[in-house]
Amino acid sequence: MVIQVRGRVLEHLPDTMEEFFDENPEIGMANLVLTEMEHTKMWRDEVLFIHQRQQATSDYRENKRVRWIGSHAALTCHICLMRHVKSGVGSIGHFDNFCCWQFGEESSAHRDGIELMLDEIAYLSDGDADDGLVEVTITGGYEDERGDAAKNSMSLLQALQEDRRLVELRHFCVGPYNTKAAQDEKVGPHLRFGPKTAILKGMALDLKSQIIFPALFDWGQMSDFQTQIQDIARVKNGLQPLDTEDQRKTSDSTFKPKSLRNRAKEKMDKLKKDQQRSQEIAAKRRLSQVNNIPNLAMNSLRLKPTGINENAIKPFKSKFIDFHALRNDI
């Protein structure tokens, strides 16, 4: 599949971020406009908020209880927002470097997450899925000292390019376009690491107006944690929670937030278990050879002896067939 920029199809992806921005100046100009926008301090009503390594999709036409979807705290992480231009269905994913290249580029939660987001948009868009395309905005990934964010950025871009569906990339606000000196920080010290920090801390999509904008979710901190603790106690006592996102979701119009799992790690864990099982079987075979025990006997189940009522089975003895004897005769 291919990414397009302002209707121009990208036949290939450059190897570096610098080359990508040089070849696509329209993206850089759009990034500058986005970073000039003020952050909107978000409220709680009608907001579907996701945390790191989560993803969710919603359709405002069917579920008016979710008007905004968003996330925050994207430094080396990336927030990916998608919207279908015809149906208005929106999706959001919050990807970090654990999700992509740490366990190998061949198996990536970026690729799985992008595919899932586009699948859910197509499902909720229903008849409009093929009428129009999906626009994508990616933010995050400031210029950190170790360079983790740059790897994350290119891995996410590659995942978009590898999907079979056409997408229009509107913003790729990462790296130099999303970095500033930490002393210029104005939105709070809780998102500051080292001499540099990200310009865009959080992002949101208004599903009604279809506007994407920088956002702050301060209520997603201690006050939100305290409410969650209170709700746990209330549920245990059979009471209704004070606040729950489930009240703003419906099964037919909103896909609830779910974890973005690293498939490579799952494969590695399964491979490790298979290797341990193979080693156990090999050890049993070696032991059987040393002790002259047949392999069948080593792996057979030993059942606890039980009492048999001879009178009860007499009528059926004539129906039993000695298969071992029959096989020898053949």
On whether both 14 and 41 belong to a single domain, the answer is yes
**What was the pLDDT predicted at 132?**
85
On whether both 280 and 136 belong to a single domain, the answer is no
**What was the pLDDT predicted at 297?**
53
Q: Of 136, 166, 56, 147, which is closest to residue 101 (Cα–Cα)?
A: 147
Which pLDDT band, with edges at 50, 70 and 90, does 328 fall under?
low
**What was the pLDDT predicted at 190?**
46
Which pLDDT band, with edges at 50, 70 and 90, does 208 fall under?
very high
On whether both 279 and 173 belong to a single domain, the answer is no
**What was the pLDDT predicted at 273?**
77
Instruction: Tell me if 260 sits within 8 A of 113, measured CB to CB.
Output: yes
Give this prediction's pTM. 0.69
Q: What is the mean pLDDT of residues 32-43?
A: 96
Domain count for the chain = 2
On whether both 170 and 85 belong to a single domain, the answer is yes
Q: What are phi and psi of 219, to 5 degrees?
A: -70, -10
**What was the pLDDT predicted at 241?**
64
Query: 7 in the Ramachandran plot: left (φ > 0), alpha (ψ -120 to 50) or beta?
Result: left
Quote the CA–CA distance of 10 and 14 in Å, as a whole number.
10
Q: Percent of the chain having pLDDT more than 70?
A: 66
Q: What is the mean pLDDT of residues 80-87?
A: 96
Instruction: Tell me if 79 sits within 8 A of 202, measured CB to CB.
Output: yes
Q: What is the mean pLDDT of residues 173-202?
A: 78
Residue 185 class from Cβ within 10 Å (0-12 exposed, 13-18 middle, 19+ buried)? middle
**What was the pLDDT predicted at 127?**
79
> Over 50: is that where the pLDDT of 249 sits?
no
**What was the pLDDT predicted at 214?**
98
Q: Tell me, yes or no, whether 315 lies in a domain.
A: no
> Over 70: is that where the pLDDT of 239 sits?
yes
> Over 80: is that where the pLDDT of 102 sits?
no
Q: In sequence order, which residues have a C-beta less than 8 Å from that of residue 218 and are 6 or more positions away?
A: 41, 188
Residue 286, domain extent: 263-297
Q: Tell me, yes or no, whether 316 lies in a domain.
A: no
Instruction: Tell me if 118 sits within 8 A of 83, measured CB to CB.
Output: no
Q: Tell me, yes or no, whether 113 lies in a domain.
A: yes
Q: Percent of the chain having pLDDT more than 90?
A: 43
**What was the pLDDT predicted at 34?**
98
